[in-house]
Structure 1
Amino acid sequence: MVDELIEQAASRLGVTDLTSLRDGGQKVVRAGRRGDELVVLKVIEVRAPQQQQVLERARREVGLLGEVDDLRLVGLRSPIIGLGPDEHCPDGVAWLEERLDGHDLDELFGSAWSGDDVTDLLVGLSEALQILHGRAVVHRDLSPGNVRRRSSGVWTLMDPGYAKHLAASSITGIYQPGTRGFRSPEHLPGATPDTYSDVYAVGILAYIAATTYFPVDHRGSEDEYYERLRDSAVVPVSHHRPDLPAEISLIIDTCLHRQPARRYLDATELLAALTAAAVRP
């Protein structure tokens, strides 16, 4: 079924030279070409019983990308289309996004970054998230595979498939979105991620860049991970990197406070703190 959906989507959207990028859950991602342009084809198979939730999430993702024309958010290159014999009750949906140059953040991890590079990451992510938070949207899955550094140096957010519009009703039910190791305390069952949850995720990414360690150990069972996420205080980043400027360490530690009220409210507050500290390289 999935192969048929991919073939139909490529034909209708005029995409050739498909190569696999990644698959996850109900979504498959293929690199391709449309004329002279390099694009990414995204196809989501729609299955019962979560058909309406999957459709709504895909439509929100495409709608969000279509609202923004900014290098810090991946660009939309087609409308969303329904796949299968009945577009009104589709077997899947598909759309095109721009194909970014550069490297995903997970390709850049491995050794500790300089203070300037950590700061550049903090500022770049804050600027990108400010676009979403200014629209009352929470990304909710700010993991290394969803962040890319273009060859120009611009940090770009991708795949806001689990983004939540704060003014809209929840579409995820009891499932808490997010990638293991990169969740905030608000991703715990019964809680609700908000803009300050994205701030926590920025802190995770900056902490790993600075130290190579996860601030909260995500190994073991899901229950063990959630228990540590709920109860364990994060070791201050200066413990691992005493050479980092105190301003950077304080900002990262503030992002990672367990209590949302002790963090920055959103990307705008985080960016203001970075500006006030005058730490941009």
Structure 2
Amino acid sequence: MICCLNPDCPNPLNPDGNNLCQTCSTPLVPLLRNRFRVIRVLSNEGGFGKTYLAEDIDKLDENCVIKQLAPKFQGSWAISKAMELFQKEAQRLKQLGEHSQIPTLLAYFEQDNYMFLVQQFINGHNLLKELQWKVSYSSEDIKDILLSLLPVLKFIHDRGVIHRDIKPQNIIRRESDGRVCLIDFGSSKQLTARVQMKMGTSIGSHGYSPLEQIRDGAAYPASDLFSLGATCFHLLTGTSPFQLWMEHGYSWVKNWRGYLRTTVDKDLAQVLDGLLEKDIKHRYQSADEVIKDLTANLEPLPSFFIEEEIVATPPQPLPTQAPTDPKKYVKIINILTVVVAIALLGSGEFWYRQYRYLESLISSSINQPNHNSVKNPSLFPPKSSISGENFSLGKTLSAESQSITSFAFSPDGSTIATASNKNIKLWNTKTGREISTLNSHSQPITTLAISPDGQTLVSGSDDKTIKLWNLATGQEIRTLGSHSHSINTLAFSVDGHILASSSVDRTIKLWNLLTRQEIITFKGHGKIITSLAIAPNKQVLASGSADSTIKLWHLASGKLIRTLKGHLGTVTSLGITPNGKTIVSASYDNTIKLWHLESGKQITTLKGHLGKINSLVIAPNGKILVSGSDDNTIKLWNLESGKQVTTLRGHEQGIRALTFTEDGKTLISGSENAMKIWQATD
């Protein structure tokens, strides 16, 4: 599609190849400045133009945001002033974009009698959308948001910029690292304030903006702080300040506690009192004052921790091994992107986040399996023509009497990884021969996974570490370590950029595999987490536990969306259909349950296995579910009808792992001593 750049066009999207807009007949521009391909309208700026989503072809079609200036003021002075301020805004945005939580200015130019600003696109979701997902914010969550945004406000205020429109819609939680970013420093607000002031027009958003800004058009650092307080109030209570302003004016700020749904701790309540003062003279005057009050009761960190964080060093190549010094295992990588900013802007967020990190993780004991070594498996022809309605047994790779503790299968089915004790073996499924042996873990390996592109093998171990391996060469790439106990489950996002890991310490951690950094930690299960799955849209993480529950988490924020209850035993395996609408869960209670992902409601229960169900896999077409059980059988189910299609027999022990190849024509299953390859039959 190609987007019309006429700011008055009511239907700007056009099919590729059109020269004129099919709605308004304006000539279409395939590339702005021969570089930016406009995709669609993001927002309408009223009398100033529009904001568009675009692709930067000079950066491999990376998304960006384009703001268009098309003022409709009366008189040449107003238009001239608007253009002057737009240019100054571009200069200001270039300066502000130096901050990692503010979009970077990419370009500023004039074309076809319009002015354009091009900015970095922040991939994520705003806090209003997060609130609409029924996320419940605690006092600690609000402190996190405040201590993340206050240094940003100090940064812009020190440079003479007032945002003027802070609200949940203008705070984006970045998908890559979960950090909140401040957006929309838009020229439209600056222009409205200075060009239209003669007409008595106020700026900002009613309910979020303070009295002096709405009444007089005047804005100060303290004005942004009121807006930040109103934003926190909205997140805590779920009540829109705009609605309260419409009904009660500013009287609601005196009784903001009356709208709370949960208790707020005393320190945060006092800070919100200072932010929500109607009279600017009694309000906080600077971000530093707020940071000081928020961090007043936090204990100082040990000196070694301070030294680790504040000493800046030049970027170094990523190591292939994790550092051996225990002090290096603190979450240094997580905050590298903001260390310099924190050093310059004040230490509030740094102290708070590190204080939170020092809280002890819950740990528990678990009986360890008996890990035995694996002999070279040999390739056996099928003993009989074991077949089902859709699949027949093709090959068996046998480990004879040796114990395999974990499996992973490459997407194309050409390679199988098996773990026994501290060793990983890679096998060629066509020849049945061992390709290589990988051994670097110091304790038995508990879980394996292969990335969707088939390039990276990931292993988790009782030694509390996760290792990344190049599947083609067998070389170790990197070690990730911040769990406090054994790793027991791994799961990739569909694009392979995010890895989720769970541990006996009852936590889930997300890792950005592009940067090799830890993103966020999830806590909430009462017992160990036994299964993980990430939705195709990368917005929801599902976790199953020995506490018999399934929890759904918002992937970027780490917020618990809801808990699904219904199983009577450990939830051993989870799957999410390719369309992202249905969760499938298996349990030691011998049942499979289907759930609506969005509502969390149970759809149906599938029964038929006579033993514990250990593994699930959904066919690439999303129509067939396959389950493996301790009853030594594999069952195929029609997901739409919930009916059992067929049963595959041949394993002599319980099935531990299942996978489909990408084309859906091959099913691979694994038990403690054998792997079987099943081919689709016509």
TM-score interval, smaller chain: 0.7 to 0.9
Q: Decide whether aligned partners of structure 1 residues 20 and 161 sit closer, same or farther in structure 2, where only a CA change above 3 A counts.
A: closer
Asked if 1 retains the 8 angstrom alpha-carbon contact of 2:206 and 2:242, the reply is no
Instruction: Give the structure 1 partner of residue 131 of structure 2.
Output: 109
Asked if 2 retains the 8 angstrom alpha-carbon contact of 1:10 and 1:16, the reply is yes
Q: Are 1:97 and 2:119 an aligned pair? A: yes
Q: How far is 1:12 from its partner?
A: 1.2
Match of 1:12, SS? Answer: coil
Q: Are 1:148 and 2:172 an aligned pair? A: yes
Q: Decide whether aligned partners of structure 1 residues 243 and 6 sit closer, same or farther in structure 2, where only a CA change above 3 A counts.
A: farther
Distance in 2 separating the partners of 1:117 and 1:10: 42
Instruction: Give the structure 2 partner of residue 70 of structure 1.
Output: 99
Deviates more, 1:9-18 or 1:97-106: 9-18
Equivalence map 1:1-281=2 (5 Å) = 1-2=6-7, 7-8=28-29, 10-12=31-33, 14-16=35-37, 18-25=39-46, 26-35=48-57, 36=60, 37-49=62-74, 50-68=78-96, 69-78=98-107, 80-84=108-112, 91-110=113-132, 111=134, 112-151=136-175, 152-161=177-186, 170-173=194-197, 174-190=200-216, 192-215=218-241, 217-218=243-244, 220=246, 228-229=249-250, 233-237=253-257, 240-241=260-261, 243-278=263-298, 281=356
Asked if 1 retains the 8 angstrom alpha-carbon contact of 2:204 and 2:214, the reply is no
| Identical aligned residues as a percent | 20
Distance in 2 separating the partners of 1:203 and 1:14: 40
Distance in 2 separating the partners of 1:197 and 1:122: 15
Distance in 1 separating the partners of 2:165 and 2:283: 18
Deviates more, 1:192-201 or 1:119-128: 119-128
Match of 2:147, SS? Answer: helix
Q: Decide whether aligned partners of structure 1 residues 260 and 206 sit closer, same or farther in structure 2, where only a CA change above 3 A counts.
A: same
Distance in 2 separating the partners of 1:54 and 1:100: 26
Q: How far is 1:98 from its partner?
A: 0.7
Asked if 1 retains the 8 angstrom alpha-carbon contact of 2:171 and 2:182, the reply is yes
Rg larger for: 2
Q: Decide whether aligned partners of structure 1 residues 48 and 240 sit closer, same or farther in structure 2, where only a CA change above 3 A counts.
A: closer
Q: How far is 1:24 from its partner?
A: 2.6
TM-score, reference length from structure 2: 0.36
Instruction: Give the structure 2 partner of residue 87 of structure 1.
Output: none
Distance in 1 separating the partners of 2:266 and 2:208: 24
Deviates more, 1:113-122 or 1:171-180: 171-180
Look up the equivalent residue of 1:23 and give its one-letter code: N
Instruction: Give the structure 2 partner of residue 88 of structure 1.
Output: none
Q: How far is 1:246 from its partner?
A: 0.8
Q: How far is 1:247 from its partner?
A: 0.5
Distance in 2 separating the partners of 1:60 and 1:261: 30
Q: How far is 1:234 from its partner?
A: 2.9
Corresponding pairs, count: 265
Asked if 2 retains the 8 angstrom alpha-carbon contact of 1:184 and 1:197, the reply is yes
Post-superposition CA distance 1:158-206 (Å, at most 9, x none): 1112566xxxx94441322112332111123235111100000000010
Q: Decide whether aligned partners of structure 1 residues 10 and 266 sit closer, same or farther in structure 2, where only a CA change above 3 A counts.
A: farther
Asked if 2 retains the 8 angstrom alpha-carbon contact of 1:237 and 1:253, the reply is no
Distance in 1 separating the partners of 2:84 and 2:126: 27
Asked if 2 retains the 8 angstrom alpha-carbon contact of 1:216 and 1:234, the reply is no
Asked if 2 retains the 8 angstrom alpha-carbon contact of 1:215 and 1:234, the reply is no
Q: Decide whether aligned partners of structure 1 residues 17 and 212 sit closer, same or farther in structure 2, where only a CA change above 3 A counts.
A: same
Look up the equivalent residue of 2:232 and give its one-letter code: A
Which structure's relative contact order is higher, taking Cα pairs within 8 Å and 6+ residues apart?
1
Asked if 2 retains the 8 angstrom alpha-carbon contact of 1:56 and 1:171, the reply is no
Look up the equivalent residue of 2:220 and give its one-letter code: D
Structure with bigger helix share is 1
Q: How far is 1:134 from its partner?
A: 1.1
Asked if 1 retains the 8 angstrom alpha-carbon contact of 2:127 and 2:168, the reply is yes
Q: Decide whether aligned partners of structure 1 residues 21 and 217 sit closer, same or farther in structure 2, where only a CA change above 3 A counts.
A: closer
Match of 1:131, SS? Answer: helix
Distance in 1 separating the partners of 2:137 and 2:44: 30
Match of 1:126, SS? Answer: helix
Post-superposition CA distance 1:224-273 (Å, at most 9, x none): 77xx13x5543143762552211111111210011112211022222222
Distance in 2 separating the partners of 1:277 and 1:241: 25
Q: CA RMSD in A?
A: 2.8
Post-superposition CA distance 1:130-149 (Å, at most 9, x none): 11111121111112222211
